[in-house]
């Protein structure tokens, strides 16, 4: 059999994106400017949200929200240990030790009932995570906050994976107080590096103009952006707050605009790949097929998170290596945070999060990207089956 080289998640870049980037480079203005504003407007429109602010990363988006609402040492922020470290690092940066709540049994999503029990008088924010592009049950979270008379808690969704996902008939983007997207190079829609905050209420929690405050705080607290300062005679500005430096550039936004124009077709291809994998694996009693949709939710088809019934970590790792040996790159999403040195040193133990560990121990993520040929998807899944069954037979 001829070995193919199947990478895990290369970017889907076409002449559309290249043309838009060259227009920016030729314009004489490459940092935050009109293209970033256009991208923000189109993101908000796509998500059916009233507002969107584009920044340098999803991590910056999360941290900016916590900073603008002055969440700091002495406060509590609840999140899940089953996520990439960015979700948690931003909490640490604010001087807060995260409160981790385990995922539900046989799910990658936070356990709402355990979350309810974790809320204390010091809880200021909750950050849920849409793993693999699957939206959490946003209304269930809101119902918990209402039942506990804690609607003062800021509800943030780390929706890094779920741009294009659907919740109760609407695109993900305005269900939480803030939905935060990632446009990193391996996401469904990319800007090379980048992210966005989508939200409805521009006066949330008494703010005069939240969009303006986010933008000022993302530019070192400077009262004018660089484009405004460059106008003749407009050099004077003020520093209003101790801001961050995490604005999105017009170059990045141009890539995003090109991607956004093609996005529905890109999701359709991902959906086709999911279907190929699921059709082949659904006959295997050892294959635990990932969630795609139910009566209220549909994934963005970001990650195909296959789990292998009865597999231990060592067997899962052996499968990853067998596939690598024949040119197929796979991944694991995610190693629970308490398994990392940083979090062990902070006093966390994976023993306290058994559901998270069980999800991780036998999970393998198969390659899904919009330039993957359907015949190559067949090659991937056929070899997954062949290699997995060879391990099972040992």
Please write the tens of the pLDDT for every residue from 26-48: 999 999 999 999 999 999 999 99
Ranges of the chain whose pLDDT falls below 50: none
Nearest CA among 246, 252, 188, 266 for reference residue 21: 252
Specify whether 171 is catalytic.
Answer: no
Residue of 187, 215, 229, 394 marked catalytic: 187
295 vs 40, 166, 169, 360, CA distance in Å? 30, 11, 9, 26
CATH number of 263-393: 3.90.1150.10
- Write the DSSP assignment of 104-151 as a string of letters: PTT-SSB-HHHHHHH--TTEEEEEEE-GGGPPP-HHHHHHHHHHTT-T
How far is 148 from 155, CA to CA, in rounded Å?
Answer: 14
How far is 87 from 187, CA to CA, in rounded Å?
Answer: 16
Under 8 Å between Cβ of 156 and 125: yes
CA torsion sign, 337 to 339 to 340 to 342? positive
Task: Provide the whole-model pTM.
Answer: 0.97
pLDDT on residue 1? 62
List the domain boundaries for the chain. Answer: 15-256, 263-393
Under 8 Å between Cβ of 308 and 358: no
Tokens of 46: 């796509």
Architecture of domain 15-256: 3-Layer(aba) Sandwich (3.40)
């Amino acid at each position: 059999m001829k070995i193919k080289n199947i990478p895990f998640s290369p970017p889907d870049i076409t002449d559309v994106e290249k043309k838009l980037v060259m227009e920016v480079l030729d314009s004489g203005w490459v940092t935050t400017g009109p293209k970033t504003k256009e991208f923000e407007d189109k993101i908000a429109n796509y998500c059916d949200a009233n507002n969107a602010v584009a920044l340098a990363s999803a991590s910056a988006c999360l941290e900016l929200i916590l900073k603008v609402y002055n969440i700091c040492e002495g406060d509590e922020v609840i999140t899940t240990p089953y996520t990439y470290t960015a979700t948690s690092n931003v909490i640490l940066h604010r001087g807060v030790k995260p409160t981790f709540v385990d995922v539900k049994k046989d799910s990658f999503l936070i356990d709402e009932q355990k979350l309810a029990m974790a809320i204390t008088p010091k809880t200021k924010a909750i950050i849920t995570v849409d793993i693999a592009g699957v939206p959490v049950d946003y209304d269930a979270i809101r119902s918990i906050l209402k039942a506990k008379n804690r609607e003062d808690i800021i509800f943030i969704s780390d929706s890094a994976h779920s741009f294009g996902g659907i919740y109760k008939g609407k695109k993900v983007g305005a269900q939480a107080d803030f939905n935060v997207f990632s446009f990193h190079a391996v996401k469904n829609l990319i800007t090379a590096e980048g992210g966005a905050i989508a939200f409805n209420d521009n006066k949330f929690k008494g703010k005069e103009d939240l969009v303006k405050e986010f933008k000022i705080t993302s530019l070192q607290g400077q009262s004018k952006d660089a484009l405004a300062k460059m106008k003749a005679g407009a050099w004077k500005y003020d520093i209003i707050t101790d801001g961050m430096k995490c604005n999105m550039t017009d170059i990045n936004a141009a890539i995003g605009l090109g991607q956004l124009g093609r996005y529905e077709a890109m999701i359709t291809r991902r959906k086709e790949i999911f279907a190929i994998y699921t059709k082949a694996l659904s006959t295997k009693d050892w294959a635990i097929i990932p969630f795609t949709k139910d009566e209220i939710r549909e994934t963005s088809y970001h990650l195909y998170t296959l789990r292998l019934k009865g597999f231990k970590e060592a067997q899962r790792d052996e499968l990853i290596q067998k596939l690598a040996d024949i040119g197929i790159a796979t991944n694991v999403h995610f190693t629970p945070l308490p398994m990392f040195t940083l979090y062990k040193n902070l006093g966390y133990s994976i023993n306290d999060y058994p559901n998270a560990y069980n999800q991780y121990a036998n999970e393998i993520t198969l390659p899904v990207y919009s330039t993957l040929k359907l015949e190559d998807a067949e090659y991937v899944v056929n070899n997954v089956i062949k290699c997995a069954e060879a391990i099972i037979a040992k």
